[in-house]
A and B are shown apart, each in its own frame.
Chain A
Amino acid sequence: MTFSTTRSSAGIRADERFILLGRVGLVLAILLVWELGGRLGDPTWVSAPSLIVLRLLRWAGDDLFAHVATTVAEMAMGLTIGVPAGVLAGIFLGRAPVLSALLRPIIVGFYSVPLVTLAPLLILWFGLDMEPKVVLVSVVVFFLIFFNTFSGVQAVDKDLIASLVLMGASPREEFQKLILPASSAWILSGLKIALPYALIAATVGEMIAARRGLGFLVTRSASQIDMTGLYAALVVLMLIGVAVGTAANALEGRILRWRVSGR
C-alpha cells in the first residue's frame, strides 16, 4: 500500500464497509474475550460483560440516575459560573495592560498549578456535599476560559483596531464589532477544552469525598472490592465522557466555520 492513493468511489464504499465491520468485530471480540475470561477465570476479579450489564440494570432501577444527575449537575453549575466569569475577566484584563502586567505572576502561578489537586482544600472548607465539587469545577473552568479569552483579546490585530478607529468607531463599537468577534474563536476554543475538564474536576471531587455521584460510585465499589460494580461505574463514566467529548467536538465545528477558508 502506498501513501498516496486515489480510489474509485466503489472502492471507497467497500472500504467503508470493511472498516465498519472491523470496528464492530473488534468490540465484539473484546466483549467475548472478557466474557470467557470471566467464566473461565475468577469472576470476582475479572468480572464479565454480562455481569456488568446485569448490575447496570439493577442500578438503573435503583439510584443510578440520581448519581448521574449529581455529576452532571455539578458540571453544569460549575460551567455556568466559570464560563461567564472567565470571559468577563479575560476581556477586562485583556484590555487593561497595566493591571494585567501587575497580576501576571499570580495568574501564571495559578495556571501552573493543577487546580484539581486542590480538591482536598475545598473539601476541607466546604464539606462533603455538592458545593466543593461545584466550586472546583467553576475554578478549573474559570482559569481555562480566562486564559483563552485573555489571549484572544490580546491577539486582536492592532492594525485592525487602528483601521476601525480611523473609520470613526466609538470604543463600544470597537468592542462590539471587532474585539468580541475576533476573540470568539478563542473563547469557543477554551470552552471546548473546558468541557472534558469539568467532568474530570467533578469526578475527582467525588472520588475524594462525596456521598453521591459517579466518582463516588467508583470509590464505593472499590472499597467493597466489588469489581463488577467498579467496572459498571466506569462504563457509565465512559459514556458520559463520550457525550461530553462529542459536545466539545461540535463546538470545534462551529469555530472552524469561517476559519476554514480564512487566512
Chain B
Amino acid sequence: MSGAVPALRMPPAGRSAGGWRAFVTRPLGTAVIRTATLVILLAAWEWMSGTIIPKFWISSPSAIVAVLAGWIADYSLFGHVAATLTEMVLGYVVGAAFAIACGLCLGLLPRVERITAPVVTALYALPKIALTPLFVIAFGIGLESKIVLVASTVFFLILYNTLDGVRDIDRDLVEALEIMGATRGEVVRKALVPATLPWIFTGLRVAVRYAFTAAILGELMASNEGIGYLIEASAGDYNAAGVYAAVFVLVVFSVLFTELLTRTEASSLRWRV
C-alpha cells in the first residue's frame, strides 16, 4: 500500500494546503505575482533596448508610449479605431443578414442546398483575404473594400451555422406538429425558427472575432485608415515603435471583444438546456 501518490479525488470544495502554494493560488497572491512579473518584464525590455538588442527590432516601452501618446494627442488614433470598427460592424451586419437569409432558405429547400453545396464549399475553401486585392480594385482603397471583405468572411461562417441549425431540428417535434394539422408555414414558425436560433446565435458570436480579423487583414493589405493601416504604415517606415504601438491597440481591442463575448455567453445560453 502506498503513500507516495497524493489523494486525487477532491472534496466538493477543497481545503487549501498551507504555505506558499496557498498564497499563490489565492486571488491576491496571483495578482501580485502577475503585476510583479509584468513590471519586471517591462523594465528588462526598456533596459535591453538599445543596449543588448538594437532598437530596430524591439523598440522600447518608452518609445511605444510616446508614439501612442502622440496618436492620442492629435486625435488620429480615434479616427483609425473608428474606421476599423465601422468596417467591422457594417460588414458584420451585411454578411450576417445575407447568411441567415440564405441559410434559412437553403435549409428549407434541401435539394437546392445539395446542388449548390459543392460551389459553396469551394468558395469557403478559398481564404477570403485572398479576395482583398479584387475588392480593392473593384471598390477602391477606402472602407468599402474592407466592408465587403468582412461581409464575405462572416457570411460563410454564419451560413454554415444556420444550416446546421436547420438540419438539427428534431424530427419528432416536426411530426408532432404535422399530426396536429399544422401548415408548412406554421411548422417553420413554431418549430424550425426557434430551434435554429441557438445555432444562429452561436454563429453570430463566433463571427465577431472573424470580422475583426478580416478588417485588420484588409487594412494591412491596402488601406489608408484603420488599426491595420497603422501597423502596416509603421512597418513600411521601419518604425518599430509605431508597429508595436499599433499592435498594442490591436491587442487591447482583441481582448476587449473576447471578454465581452465570454461574459455574454453565460447569459445568452441560460435558457438552453
- A7 → B minimal CB distance (Å): 12
Question: In the bound complex, do residue A120 and residue B213 qualify as a contact, i.e. CB atoms below 8 Å apart?
Answer: no
Given the contacts A113-B250, A225-B137, A245 and B125 also touching, CB distance less than 8 Å: yes
Against A, the Cβ 8 Å flags (1 = close, 0 = not) of B234-273 are 0100101001100100110011011100000000000000
Which of A3, A196, A218 is close to B130, meaning CB atoms less than 8 Å apart?
A218
How far, in angstroms, from A162 to B30 measured CA to CA in the complex?
29
Let me know if B126 is at the binding interface, CB within 8 A: yes
Which residue of chain B has its CB nearest to the CB of A223?
Answer: B133
Q: Is A60 an interface residue (CB 8 A)?
A: no
> Is B28 at the interface (CB under 8 A from chain A)?
no
B255 close to A109 (CB less than 8 A): yes
CB–CB B127/A124 < 8 A: no
**Count the B residues whose beta carbon is within 8 Å of the partner chain — how many?**
63
User: Secondary structure at chain A's binding surface: helix, strand, loop or mixed?
Assistant: helix
Q: Please give, as numbers and ranges, the residues of chain B lying within 8 Å of A108 by CB-CB distance.
A: 255, 258
Q: Contacts A19-B114, A120-B232; is A162 near B9 (CB within 8 Å)?
A: yes
- Residues from chain B with a CB closer than 8 A to the CB of A196 are 125, 127
> B237 → chain A, closest Cβ, in Å?
11
B129 contacts the other chain (CB 8 A): yes
Are A117 and B57 in contact, CB atoms less than 8 angstroms apart? no
Partner of B129, one of A118, A159, A200: A200
Bound Cα distance from A102 to B37, whole angstroms: 10
Q: Evaluate contact between A234 and B130: CB separation under 8 angstroms.
A: yes
Q: CA of A210 to CA of B76 in the docked complex: distance in angstroms?
A: 30
B10 on the interface (CB 8 Å rule)?
yes
- Interface: B136 (CB within 8 A): yes
B119 within 8 A of A: yes
Q: Is there a chain B Cβ closer than 8 Å to A98's Cβ?
A: yes
The digit string for A192-219, where 1 denotes a CB below 8 A from any CB of B, is: 0000100110011001100000110011
Q: Does B21 touch A at the CB level, under 8 Å?
A: yes
Q: How far is the CB of A124 from chain B (nearest CB, A)?
A: 5
> Is the beta-carbon distance between A208 and B221 smaller than 8 angstroms?
yes
- Complex contact A102–B129 (CB within 8 A): no
What mask results when residues 149 to 177 of chain A are scored 1 for a CB within 8 Å of chain B, else 0? 00000000011011001000001000000
Is there a chain B Cβ closer than 8 Å to A123's Cβ?
yes
- Min CB–CB distance A156 → chain B (angstroms): 11
A-contacting 9-mer, from B43-51, B66-74, B171-179: B171-179
**A256 close to B (CB within 8 Å):** no
Does the CB pair B209–A114 fall under 8 Å?
yes
Partner of B33, one of A19, A102, A222, A223: A102
Q: Are A121 and B133 in contact (CB under 8 A)?
A: no
- Min CB distance B135 to A, Å, is 10
Which of A21-29, A77-85, A180-188 contacts its partner?
A21-29
Give complex CA distance A47, B129 in Å: 21
For window 22-62 of A, CB contacts with B under 8 Å fall at: 22-23, 25-27, 30
A124, B243: Cβ atoms under 8 Å?
yes
Q: A158-B8, A158-B9 are in contact. Are A19 and B132 (CB under 8 A)?
A: no
* Residue pair A27, B118 in contact (C-beta under 8 Å): yes
Which are the 4 A-B pairs with shortest beta-carbon distances? Answer: A222-B133, A241-B125, A22-B115, A114-B213
Cβ contacts A to B, 14 pairs, < 8 Å: A15-B111, A18-B111, A19-B111, A22-B115, A105-B34, A112-B251, A112-B257, A112-B258, A117-B220, A118-B247, A121-B231, A165-B5, A165-B8, A218-B133
